[in-house]
Amino acid sequence: MFLKEIRVHSVFLSSSILGAMPSLPELNLHHLRYFWTVAHEGSIAKACAVLKVSQPTVSEQLRSLAQAVGCDLLVREGRRLRLTDTGRMALDYADEIFSLGRDLHEALASRRHGRSIPVAVGVSDAVPKLIACRLIAPALALPEPVQLTVHEDSHDVLVQRLAAHDLDLVLSDAPLEAYQRIRAFNHVLGASSLAVFGAASFAKLARGFPKSLDGAPLLAAMPGSPQRRSWDAWCADRQVRPRVVAQVQDSALMKTMGQAGLGVFVGPAAISDAICATFAVRVIGLVTEIKERYYAISLNRRLANPALQAITASGRDLFSATV
């Protein structure tokens, strides 16, 4: 599987750069590694120190690669080398190829020594705990043993840790944005409508919903959060004014407070069954006009790690039947 992925990347890289010219030979990964190192280090001299080879050797490898693809990938500007447009595209593919190579090495080493495959996942603090649990659980049910480490933090902090290779995947309610200037990829898991939940004492609010929410005690998300902005706009459109009794950052605490009958609260409809069962509450009404989207963010366009594949697949299954 891993070797096939790397081979496919190499062939696709060749055809992308050369414009689908099948008569030309497949790219040499040895040449590509020299180019990849020079591009990241910014100069041949620095690359030589990393590769522990001489400058003529690196220069010759770069020339061989340029001849193979039929154009320059690097051009000299003063003392530094600059990537051409084709070089930037080639570097994107090279990043993925060698990242897959690292995954292959780790997977084979773990299997050979009977060790668990280490997987580090970051979960944004805006993602409900029940959704995070459902997304992650399939990774622990794989035939291969997995050693999972889960980190929770803000979206921006987790994305920075992903860029530093501290994490393999980030689960978030927001995509990676261009302003973050990190080369990574968004994998859309799906979207969920919202539902309003409450303890048995609020069951009467189901009649006449949503007008029945006017004046009802509400456990609300923090001001400025995406959910809170969408919810406030939805209420304003319907001229409904719930009475905010608490603003809660942690979604699990909000549900626990709702279980205690302190107020109604909003949560993803995709996991309404789990919310009702776990916190002994019931659905008061559905808010189908608001959709919350969830993403997996990774450094690679293709996920070769079976644990990460299982996580993203579970997300698509979870949200596929969402109202």
Give the three-class secondary structure for 290: strand
Per-residue pLDDT of the chain (323 residues; tens, 9 = 90+): 333 344 434 444 444 444 443 444 566 777 888 888 888 888 888 888 888 888 888 888 888 888 888 888 888 877 778 888 888 888 878 777 777 667 666 666 656 555 677 899 999 988 999 999 999 999 999 888 888 999 999 999 999 999 888 999 999 999 988 766 777 889 999 999 999 999 999 999 999 999 999 999 999 999 988 889 999 999 999 999 999 999 998 889 999 999 999 999 999 999 999 999 999 999 999 999 999 999 999 988 777 788 899 999 988 888 876 54
pLDDT digits (tens, 9 = 90+) for 235-251: 999 999 999 999 998 88
Assess contact for 224 and 247: CB atoms under 8 A.
no
Which class is 2-109 in CATH? Answer: mainly alpha
CATH of 192-291, one of 3.40.350.10, 3.40.1010.20, 3.30.1110.20, 3.40.190.10: 3.40.190.10
Alpha helices in 27-167 (DSSP H): 29-41, 44-51, 55-69, 85-112, 129-136, 155-163
CA distance 241 to 19: 60
Same fold, 118-190+294-320 and 192-291: yes
Strands (E) located in the chain:
74-77, 80-83, 117-124, 146-153, 169-172, 185-198, 217-220, 243-247, 264-268, 282-298
pLDDT digits (tens, 9 = 90+) for 162-221: 988 899 999 999 998 876 677 788 999 999 999 999 999 999 999 999 999 999 999 999
Q: What is the DSSP letter of 312?
A: H
Whole-model pTM: value is 0.67
Count of CA atoms in the C-beta half-sphere (13 A) of 205: 28
What CATH number should be reported for the domain whose range is 118-190+294-320? Answer: 3.40.190.10
Q: Domain segments of the chain: what residues? A: 2-109, 118-190+294-320, 192-291
Q: Centre a 10 Å sphere on the Cβ of residue 64 and count the other Cβ atoms it contains.
A: 14
